[in-house]
Amino acid sequence: MHVLFLADGLFPFVVGGMQKHSTMLIKHLSPLVDQITVCTCGEINAVPPSEEDILDKLVTSKNNIQVLTCTFEDRGKYPGHYLRASRKLSRTFLNLAGDLSQYDCIYAQGLTGDAFLKKHPRVLVNLHGLNMFQLSFSWKEEIEKRMMRPLFSKQIRKAWKTVSLGGRLSDILVANGATQEQIVVTPNGVDDFWFDTPKAAQETRETRFLMVGRNDPAKGYEVLKEALTLINKPLEIHFVGDWPELESTYHNLTYHGVLRGKQQMMNVMDSCDILLLPSLSEGMPTVVLEAKARGLQVIGTAVGAMEILESNLLPPGDASALAEVMTLERDLKQRETLGKRFRWTQVAAATVESFSDDSDKGPN
């Protein structure tokens, strides 16, 4: 089987949940298929990483990965510029890929498969969190999402198959034209090393909270800021990502910045007890899987596929509810666990199974 994999960046060259997903899935698909051709890029408007550097990150026991790169150009300023740039990137990938008949199937992350939908009968699209179909918390956000919905709905209707991470995301796909036969429910994953020797519970200090992510309004940083003003006792919170620092607060806040190294991230996680995920919209966050694999408890919101990972979720955007649950007494000796189906080895095997479907007929 020869798979064409389309990705708008690979981790650690481009930081993001989709980019990390692409890197890990390619690595674990490699031993299971005959060949993978990867079309990818670097940061927007930046020279892409070299093929040698990318292959160094994707190295597996099977030397069957080919890498094709280009620049993701987006110099627009008017509304919708990112969508137009994404479609242009897809057309560039189409040119890079060459004769499509050489590929048995195409795995497209986000909008990268747009130009391929009518040119190959087996295009599997993964739109991840489907944030444009989830609740908005400002007029600006809602306008931006309304601009995105038609194009994403097209991907859902025209794809041979669409990936759902599970939970409410499957309902969103159906509401936007996907049939049950088109939907492939495949969760996000974590590598096996995250399960190695999780830390022991801490019993002699105050609870340490951790928030990980990029500085995006959908991640709920403003909700957390408001919640902190409602909590009287000082809390210790660690932040990983490009979060703006709070200048005046009685809480003990530590900002670690963006961490690209796996061991660095694991060390920070192992020093903390509870992961905070006050997101306004999500798919299936990798950081939740990693935290649970390390034994951290999780405080999260009822968005995306979170219900598959957690119970007792909070309503998104509710600072009072977040403040209340952060101040509850907890038994830190009660460690979280994560099932084997969330390991990348299992996710890759399920993906190959979806590729092997006998149905060659794409959607109308």
Q: What is the DSSP letter of 224?
A: H
Question: Using one digit for the tens of pLDDT, what is the confidence trace for 317-336?
Answer: 999 999 999 999 887 777 77
Around Cβ 195, how many Cβ atoms within 10 Å? 17
User: In this structure, are residues 189 and 347 in contact, taking their beta carbons and an 8 Å threshold?
Assistant: yes
Residue-level pLDDT at 77: 85
> H/E element holding 93?
helix 81-97
What angle (nearest 5°) sits at the alpha carbon of residue 314, between those of residues 310 and 320?
Answer: 150
Residue-level pLDDT at 203: 58
What's phi and psi for 221, nearest 5 deg?
-60, -40
Q: How many helices (H) and strands (E) does the chain have?
A: 11, 12
Whether 2-189+343-355 and 193-337 share one fold: the answer is yes
- Residues 228 and 271: their CA atoms lie apart, in Å, by 21
Q: Which CATH architecture has domain 2-189+343-355?
A: 3-Layer(aba) Sandwich (3.40)
Cβ-proximal residues to 324 (8 Å cutoff; 6+ apart), any chain: none
Residue-level pLDDT at 31: 94
Q: Please, what sign has the CA dihedral across residues 337, 187, 357, 60?
A: negative
Q: What is the DSSP letter of 244?
A: P
- Residues 208 and 158: their CA atoms lie apart, in Å, by 46
Directed axis angle between helix 17-29 and helix 344-355, to 10°?
Answer: 70
Q: Name the one residue in this structure whose structure tokens are 């759902």.
A: 164
Around Cβ 307, how many Cβ atoms within 10 Å? 14
Residue-level pLDDT at 245: 92
Q: Is 104 exposed, middle or buried (0-12, 13-18, 19+ CB in 10 A)?
A: middle
Q: What is the DSSP letter of 207?
A: -
User: In this structure, are residues 1 and 30 in contact, taking their beta carbons and an 8 Å threshold?
Assistant: no
Asked, as a colleague might, if the bond just before 285 is cis with ω within 30 of 0, I would say: no
Residue-level pLDDT at 332: 76
Residue-level pLDDT at 288: 93
CATH superfamily of 193-337: Glycogen Phosphorylase B; (3.40.50.2000)
DSSP string of 290-357, one letter each residue? HHHHTT-EEEEBS-TTHHHH-SSPBPTT-HHHHHHHHTS---TTS-----GGGBHHHHHHHHHHHHT-
pLDDT < 50 positions in the chain? 364
Residue-level pLDDT at 202: 55
DSSP string of 31-71, one letter each residue? GGSSEEEEEEE-STTSPPPPHHHHHHHH--SS--EEEEEE-
If you count them, how many residues does the chain have?
364
User: In this structure, are residues 128 and 149 in contact, taking their beta carbons and an 8 Å threshold?
Assistant: no
Domain boundaries, the chain: 2-189+343-355, 193-337
Residue 112's closest CA among 146, 80, 88, 78?
88
Residue-level pLDDT at 364: 46
